[in-house]
């Protein structure tokens, strides 16, 4: 999974969505799915999803199974074809999660 997280980071950077500064602690504390009320989709990927997956990997814990996040991002970016590289990587991550 680590190579896919690296690929996701690279895709976010290539699409100029990677941020140098984290959102506020309040924004990151959202309890809504994908922090839909406080973060943009790419912020959630960078600051919540990637961060949490890296923590799990570094702790030697198993990654969650059975999740699928691509449909949310396909809907968010249905009018943004420039984000296709991100969606491609998310599909790969979903395949691993189905594993």
DSSP 8-state secondary structure symbol assigned to residue 88: H
Q: Whole-prediction pTM value?
A: 0.91
The domain defined by 2-16+38-98 carries CATH number 1.20.1440.40: yes
Over residues 65-98, the pLDDT tens digits come to 888 999 999 999 999 999 999 999 999 999 998 8
69 Rama sector, left if φ>0, alpha if ψ -120 to 50, beta otherwise: alpha
Q: At what angle do helices 84-98 and 2-14 cross, to 10 degrees?
A: 160
Average pLDDT, the chain: 94
Q: Which helix (H) or strand (E) holds 81?
A: none
């Amino acid at each position: 999974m680590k190579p896919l997280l690296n690929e996701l980071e690279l895709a976010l950077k290539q699409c100029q969505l990677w941020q140098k500064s984290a959102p506020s602690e309040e924004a990151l504390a959202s309890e809504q799915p994908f922090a839909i009320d406080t973060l943009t989709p790419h912020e959630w990927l960078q600051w919540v999803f990637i961060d949490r997956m890296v923590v799990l990997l570094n702790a030697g814990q198993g990654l969650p199974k059975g999740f699928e996040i691509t449909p949310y991002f396909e809907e968010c970016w249905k009018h943004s074809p420039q984000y296709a590289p991100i969606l491609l990587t998310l599909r790969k991550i979903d395949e691993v999660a189905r594993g």
